[in-house]
């Protein structure tokens, strides 16, 4: 187990290192840098001034040199400065994280709260009318773009209350804050709950076919006991993986939903930074996302070993 | 082989497997949701192919007098802020959507199959290298990688296709690799090796055809998500550039401010995206059930 852990950790570092190189290179093969964009907007270009700004930002150095400067800074905890706001990158990113984290947690809660029980119900009542309805609902959930769902929710608000659920930095009460976050979180969570529902259903059906379920039935266990004590506990294993996968899935939903609802979170900030060619923000944010995904995957693997005694990792 | 199993299943179920049409009818009856998906997809492809003949107004021509005109008067899904016909833009948008969907899926599958075959068949350090590359690509969410790729490549239809195709590679490569590893140990591959066939020939003639069924399942499942990612990219303003009518872009133009005054700008393009993706998902489920009976639920 210990040697497996070490191996996994080394692989994680290798993966993150690879991502840093790829993202860094990708961002720099773009024709035109932030200085070009700024001067485009200004209209007037003084070559000397442009060269000076480029030198100030370190854009005149070679790409490997720029990369070394970035990684060297990271090692010292220095993420550089935003090209656009000129603030420290860390000061731009950190205050936005709690906003997105609240949304993500609420969305995940929404997804588990609906996806899990409905998936189980769908499997237990396989091929009934209820199962068909739930399957169509989950499939349509996967087909609705979350930004469109967000817009429909906005429209429903306008139609019924004639008010926009606008994001405010200082909500008046806890309940107002909860409402402010839950509406966009539901828009994101609906899609994930659809995915979770499908996965739970197929995992549950797989388990219901096993021999030990037949054994439980034949020794006279009640239907409820078979479904919820024997089957559900075993079906939860693959579901844990899916909840882990949702981390990556949620990030995509958060990006578009924060844009629709005009929420100043870290996911929308990534898109803005990409538009502005604000390299220090983009590369650090992408690394941040990668660290989250890789860590969640690692945690899921470990959880798997804890939950399922049949799994023993060896080096 | 999968096809035999499938034929066997048809006859088990008492179907008349005499003609293609009766087989199709049998499948439609057995998988009604899949048939619905196929019908939606047919409509989608038909719209994309015959867009010119299905519209009266030019999707690109602007008319300030008609700005934000509600549905009616020849513009039966209304007009956008530039006075462009929403119906025409949705019909022509089907072409862009389908082009990007099929283009990105096939490109992603092509690279994924190549890497998966190489990785599974050659093993050794090639396998190790490809596996690490796939790990790297999989550590980023599809939309994030597509966003960065699309920004790096610049806005054009071809670049959007490429930007969406690259993040699809890992999942395809993984499935093909796993299949190749299993196939490599099969007696018919061993026999081919024994009679002195070259590795390349074995990989292409014996291994590749046997990975087709899982590949088709995967490709149909991916088609829906490529259409969604294109819509998201265009919605965020980093996808299909002007003047092409893209469904996602139509929604970004009609963002928050028009929600109040021109709901048709929000409703119709969204229905088009959802319907197209719903159709591919329904079809994808049915294709999986038919070609991969072990996964049937």
Residues in chain A: 315
- Among chain B residues, the shortest Cα distance to A144 is held by B274
Q: For residue A315, name the pLDDT band (cuts at 50, 70, 90).
A: very low
Q: What is the pLDDT of residue A62?
A: 78
CA distance B214 to chain A (A): 18
What is the DSSP-derived secondary structure letter of residue B194? H
Q: What is the pLDDT of residue B294?
A: 61
| Highest mean pLDDT pick, A128-132, B152-156, B251-255 | A128-132
Each residue of A77-110: pLDDT tens digit?
Answer: 788 888 777 788 888 888 999 999 999 999 999 9
Ranking A93-102, A184-193, A225-234 by mean pLDDT, the lowest is A225-234
Burial (0-12, 13-18, 19+ Cβ within 10 Å), A115: buried
Please list every residue in chain A whose beta carbon sits closer than 8 Å to the beta carbon of residue B274: 140, 143-145, 148
Ranking A18-22, A53-57, B269-273 by mean pLDDT, the lowest is A53-57
> Taking residues A104-122, what's their average pLDDT?
91
> Taking residues A127-149, what's their average pLDDT?
89
Above 90 in pLDDT, residue B85? no
Residue A246: Cβ within 10 Å count: 25
> Taking residues A265-287, what's their average pLDDT?
89
| Per-position DSSP letters for B90-134, written without gaps between them | HHHHHHHHHHHHHHHHHHHHHHHHHHHHHHHHH-HHHHHHHHHHH
- Among chain A residues, the shortest Cα distance to B267 is held by A152
Each residue of B109-168: pLDDT tens digit?
Answer: 999 999 999 998 887 888 999 999 998 888 888 899 999 988 888 888 999 999 999 999
Note whether A145 contacts B232, CB cutoff 8 Å: yes
Q: What is the pLDDT of residue A164?
A: 64
> Taking residues B66-90, what's their average pLDDT?
78
CA distance A93 to chain B (A): 17
| Model pTM score | 0.86
* Cβ(B269)–Cβ(B247) below 8 Å: yes
Partner residue opposite B281 with nearest CB, options A27, A29, A142:
A142
Note whether A255 contacts B152, CB cutoff 8 Å: no
Q: What is the pLDDT of residue B5?
A: 56
Please list every residue in chain B whose beta carbon sits closer than 8 Å to the beta carbon of residue A126: 297
Above 80 in pLDDT, residue A34? no
Higher pLDDT, A66 or B162: B162
Above 50 in pLDDT, residue A222? yes
Note whether A143 contacts B224, CB cutoff 8 Å: yes
Rounded CA gap, B8 and B2, in Å? 10
- Two structure tokens written together for B71: 């549905």
- Among chain A residues, the shortest Cα distance to B134 is held by A15
Partner residue opposite B139 with nearest CB, options A19, A126, A154:
A19
Please list every residue in chain B whose beta carbon sits closer than 8 Å to the beta carbon of residue A262: 256
Q: For residue A261, name the pLDDT band (cuts at 50, 70, 90).
A: confident
Above 60 in pLDDT, residue B253? yes
Q: What is the pLDDT of residue B228?
A: 93
Above 90 in pLDDT, residue B273? yes
Task: For tokens 């599809």, name the residue.
Answer: B142
Please list every residue in chain A whose beta carbon sits closer than 8 Å to the beta carbon of residue B238: 271, 274-275
> Taking residues A122-136, what's their average pLDDT?
89
* Cβ(A218)–Cβ(A227) below 8 Å: no
The torsion angle over the Cα atoms of residues B120, B124, B126 and B131, rounded to 10 degrees, is: 60
Above 50 in pLDDT, residue A24? yes
Partner residue opposite A151 with nearest CB, options B154, B266, B281:
B266
Ranking A11-15, A260-264, B289-293 by mean pLDDT, the lowest is B289-293
Each residue of B173-212: pLDDT tens digit?
Answer: 988 998 888 888 888 888 988 998 888 888 888 888 888 8
CA distance B209 to chain A (A): 28
Q: What is the pLDDT of residue B272?
A: 94
Q: For residue B11, name the pLDDT band (cuts at 50, 70, 90).
A: low
Rounded CA gap, B206 and A210, in Å? 34
Partner residue opposite B136 with nearest CB, options A22, A27, A144:
A22
- Among chain B residues, the shortest Cα distance to A154 is held by B259
Note whether B278 contacts A145, CB cutoff 8 Å: no
Q: What is the pLDDT of residue A45?
A: 65
Percentage above 70 pLDDT, chain A: 91
Above 80 in pLDDT, residue B33? yes
Chain B residues with CB under 8 Å of a chain A CB are 33, 132-133, 135-136, 139-144, 147-149, 151-152, 154, 224, 228, 231-232, 235-238, 248, 251, 255-256, 259-260, 263, 266-267, 270, 273-275, 277-278, 281-282, 285, 295, 297
- Note if the bond before B145 is cis, omega within 30 degrees: no
> Taking residues A223-238, what's their average pLDDT?
80
Q: What is the pLDDT of residue B295?
A: 56
> Taking residues A240-250, what's their average pLDDT?
78
> Taking residues B60-85, what's their average pLDDT?
76
Please list every residue in chain A whose beta carbon sits closer than 8 Å to the beta carbon of residue B237: 275
Show Cβ contacts of residue A201 under 8 Å, excluding neighbours closer than 6 positions.
Answer: A119, A120, A122, A123, A134, A135, A138, B297
Q: What is the pLDDT of residue B96?
A: 92
Q: What is the pLDDT of residue A302?
A: 82
Q: What is the pLDDT of residue A2?
A: 78
Q: What is the mean pLDDT of chain B?
A: 84
Note whether A155 contacts B152, CB cutoff 8 Å: no
Q: What is the pLDDT of residue A159?
A: 77
> Taking residues A226-233, what's their average pLDDT?
80
Q: What is the pLDDT of residue B1?
A: 41
Note whether B259 contacts A155, CB cutoff 8 Å: yes
Q: For residue B105, name the pLDDT band (cuts at 50, 70, 90).
A: very high
Higher pLDDT, A175 or B169: B169
Mutate: best of A26, A136, A139, A158, partner B, most B CBs <10 A: A139
């Amino acid at each position: 187990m210990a040697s497996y852990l070490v191996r996994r950790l080394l692989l994680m570092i290798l993966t993150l290192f690879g991502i840093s190189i790829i993202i860094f290179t990708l961002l720099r093969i773009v024709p035109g840098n932030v200085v070009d964009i700024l001067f485009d907007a200004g209209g007037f270009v003084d070559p000397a001034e442009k060269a000076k700004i480029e030198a100030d930002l370190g854009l005149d150095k070679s790409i490997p040199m720029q990369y070394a400067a970035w990684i060297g800074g990271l090692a010292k905890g220095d993420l550089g400065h935003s090209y656009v706001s000129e603030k420290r990158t860390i000061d731009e990113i950190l205050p936005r994280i709690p906003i997105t984290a609240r949304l993500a947690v609420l969305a995940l809660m929404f997804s588990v709260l609906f996806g899990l029980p409905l998936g189980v119900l769908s499997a237990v009542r396989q091929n009934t009318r209820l199962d068909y309805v739930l399957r169509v609902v989950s499939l349509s959930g996967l087909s609705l773009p979350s930004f469109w769902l967000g817009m429909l929710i906005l429209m429903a608000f306008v139609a019924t209350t004639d008010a926009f659920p606008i994001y405010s930095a200082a909500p008046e009460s806890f309940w107002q804050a909860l409402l402010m976050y839950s509406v966009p979180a539901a828009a994101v969570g609906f899609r994930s709950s659809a995915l979770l529902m499908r996965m739970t259903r197929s995992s549950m059906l797989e388990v219901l076919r096993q021999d030990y379920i037949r054994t439980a039935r034949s020794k006279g266990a009640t239907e409820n006991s078979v479904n919820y004590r024997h089957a559900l506990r075993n079906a939860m294993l693959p579901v844990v993986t899916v909840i882990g996968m949702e981390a990556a899935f949620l990030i995509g939903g958060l990006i578009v939903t924060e844009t629709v609802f005009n929420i100043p979170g870290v996911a929308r900030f990534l898109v803005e930074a990409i538009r502005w060619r604000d390299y220090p923000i983009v590369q650090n944010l992408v690394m941040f996302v990668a660290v989250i995904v890789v860590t969640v995957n690692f945690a899921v693997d470990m959880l798997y070993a804890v939950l399922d005694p049949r799994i023993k990792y060896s080096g | 082989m999968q096809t035999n199993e499938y034929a066997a299943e048809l006859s088990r179920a008492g179907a008349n497997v005499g003609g293609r049409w009766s087989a199709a009818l049998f499948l439609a009856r057995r998988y009604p949701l899949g048939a619905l998906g196929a019908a939606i997809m047919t409509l989608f492809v038909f719209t994309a192919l015959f867009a010119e003949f299905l519209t009266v107004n030019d999707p690109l021509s602007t008319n300030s007098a008609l700005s934000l005109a509600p549905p009616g008067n020849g513009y039966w899904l209304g007009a956008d802020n530039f006075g462009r016909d929403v119906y025409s833009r949705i019909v022509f948008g089907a072409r862009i959507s389908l082009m990007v969907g099929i283009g990105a899926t096939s490109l992603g599958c092509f690279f994924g199959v190549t890497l998966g075959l190489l990785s599974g068949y050659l093993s050794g350090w090639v396998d190790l290298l490809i596996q690490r590359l796939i790990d790297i690509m999989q550590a980023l969410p599809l939309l994030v990688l597509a966003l960065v790729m699309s920004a790096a490549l610049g806005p054009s239809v071809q670049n959007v296709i490429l930007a969406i195709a690259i993040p699809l590679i890992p999942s395809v490569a993984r499935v093909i690799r796993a299949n190749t590893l299993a196939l490599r140990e099969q007696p018919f591959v061993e026999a081919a090796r024994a009679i002195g066939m070259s590795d390349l020939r074995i990989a292409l003639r014996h291994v590749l055809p046997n990975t087709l069924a899982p590949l088709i399942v995967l490709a149909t499942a991916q088609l829906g998500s490529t259409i969604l990612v294109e819509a998201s990219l265009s919605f965020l303003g980093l996808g299909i550039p002007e003047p092409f009518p893209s469904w996602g872009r139509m929604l970004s133009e009609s963002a928050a401010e028009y929600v109040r005054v021109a709901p048709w700008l929000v409703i119709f393009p969204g229905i088009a995206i959802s319907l197209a993706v719903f159709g591919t998902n329904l079809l994808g489920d049915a294709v999986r059930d038919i070609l991969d009976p072990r996964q049937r639920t």
